[in-house]
Amino acid sequence: MNCIFCAIAAGDVPSASLYEDGRVAAFLDIQPLAPGHALVVPKKHAAKLEDASPEDRRAVMDAVAMLAPILCKETGMPDATIAIHNGKAAGQEVAHLHVHIVPRKPGDGAGPIHAMFPAPQKVPSEQLHDLAVRVQGALSRRR
């Protein structure tokens, strides 16, 4: 497998490392959207969130929760956008689960997630309800 994030997590490719433990690695993005833009990845390869073990998902999110306020404080930003692009159609460019932490400040021009799309969709409440019922059914079949 030729995965850049696996290579970074293994220490085979240099990075501006922020944090590492037995399950995760965190490092600064080489094409940052803002000062302090970091990535948190599981060390064990998983292409998408659902491909990672529950333990790796927890470890990744624990690291995100620990790092986000530190990155914000150290960059002088009050908040952060935390994002996962889960699959190519969702904008994932490296097929290895990674969570972006992007420190943010008011007026930085990035905007909310809704700014990524041309316009919010108008969906009838019946369609929302029908989808909710289908998802609840699928979840109950998994138990």
What CATH number corresponds to the domain at position 39? Answer: 3.30.428.10
Whether 114 is catalytic is no
User: Does a structural domain hold residue 121?
Assistant: no
Q: Which domain holds residue 86?
A: 4-113
Q: Which is it for strands 38-42 and 99-104: parallel, antiparallel or unpaired?
A: antiparallel
User: Does a structural domain hold residue 139?
Assistant: no
Give 91-125 pLDDT, tens digit per residue: 999 999 999 999 999 988 887 877 777 777 888 89
Q: Which residues of 2-34 are buried (b: 16+ CB within 10 A; e: fewer)?
A: eeebbebbeeeeebeebeeeebbbbbbbeeeeb
User: Does a structural domain hold residue 45?
Assistant: yes
User: Does a structural domain hold residue 120?
Assistant: no
User: Does a structural domain hold residue 57?
Assistant: yes
Domain count, the chain: 1
- pTM comes to 0.90
Which is the catalytic residue, given 37, 45, 96, 98? Answer: 98
User: Does a structural domain hold residue 71?
Assistant: yes
Mean pLDDT across 46-51: 98
Supply the pLDDT for residue 77: 95
